[in-house]
Amino acid sequence: MKSLPLKLLILSGLLFISLSSTAGPPFDTDDPEPVDFRHWEYYLSSINTYQHDLISGTLPHIEVNYGVIPGFQLHAELPMNFNLIQNKEFQYGYASTELGIKYRFFESRDKSFQIGTFPIFEVPTVKNRDFSSGNLQVYLPIWIQKSWNKLTTYGGGGYWINPGTYNKNWVFAGWEVQYDFSKTVTLGGELFYRTSSTIDGHFFVGFNAGGFINFTDNLHLIFSVGHSISRDKTFISYVGFLVTI
């Protein structure tokens, strides 16, 4: 059995995937579609990763996206992190600020097919070894999306540059399918894969199911729940509110 410090490091890596590869909340897999020009998205959310003797997550994290020019989005995310370890003191604090730039470089004439990229930068902001290696981490992905009326599917993946003690560079890949059942409800699911982000870790395969409930044109509840398929017995959840302006 892994020692608790190493297990916590691996679990934090799984949370890092949920938080950083997401950008397509409430899923880990992202899409290439940026926020519309001169429009905003505001998220207030919590991500949690559970194993039998420890829980790690954000409580809460704030995400802001802005369509600065057509096809180009600026992104910032500020997470308050926590670790709840069996028989250990509760850990809570801020460490890194996530910054990103989403750029859609291809869109078909009927807007049904899109390709884009979304580089992410995890910038050490507060010295906090419980939640950060203290090193800049960079994600370089490509995302593809295809839509047919109420059905949308998207996916892709990318490469994480992940310096730090016990860390190594790693790859994330995922694919998602969702369907608009009405103007109020959209439901979907994803399958995702990642290589190990730590020297002593191993690959991870998981799935999430969730969606959106649109209370109004501007206020949305977003949620997902998931579980590992690979040997880790890990449960993941996401819940948040999205305001679009």
107-123 residue pLDDT tens:
999 999 999 999 999 99
Cis geometry, peptide bond prior to residue 124 (ω within 30 degrees of 0): no
Of the given ranges (17-31, 84-98, 137-151), which has the lowest mean pLDDT? 17-31
Of 195, 198, 157, 151, the closest CA to residue 174 belongs to 157
CB neighbour list of residue 210: distance below 8 Å, 6 or more residues apart: 26, 27, 187, 188, 189, 222, 223, 224, 225, 238
pLDDT tens, 47-61?
999 988 889 999 999
Q: pLDDT value at position 21?
A: 43
Contact 120, 136 (CB under 8 A): no
Instruction: Say whether pLDDT at 20 is over 50.
Output: no
User: Which class does domain 4-244 fall in?
Assistant: mainly beta
Residues 13, 16, 20, 21, CA torsion sign: positive
The residues that bridge with 96 in the sheet, in sequence order, are 124
Q: pLDDT value at position 232?
A: 76
Query: Between these two residues, 231 and 80, which has the higher pLDDT value?
Result: 80
Q: pLDDT value at position 231?
A: 72
CB neighbour list of residue 88: distance below 8 Å, 6 or more residues apart: 4
Q: Which amino acid is at 109?
A: R
Residue 225, both tokens: 């729940």
pTM of structure: 0.90
Q: What does the alpha-carbon distance between residue 76 and residue 69 come to, in Å, rounded to a whole number?
A: 16
pLDDT tens, 155-203?
999 999 999 888 999 999 999 999 999 999 999 999 999 999 999 888 9
Sorting pLDDT into bands at 50, 70 and 90, what band is 15? Answer: low
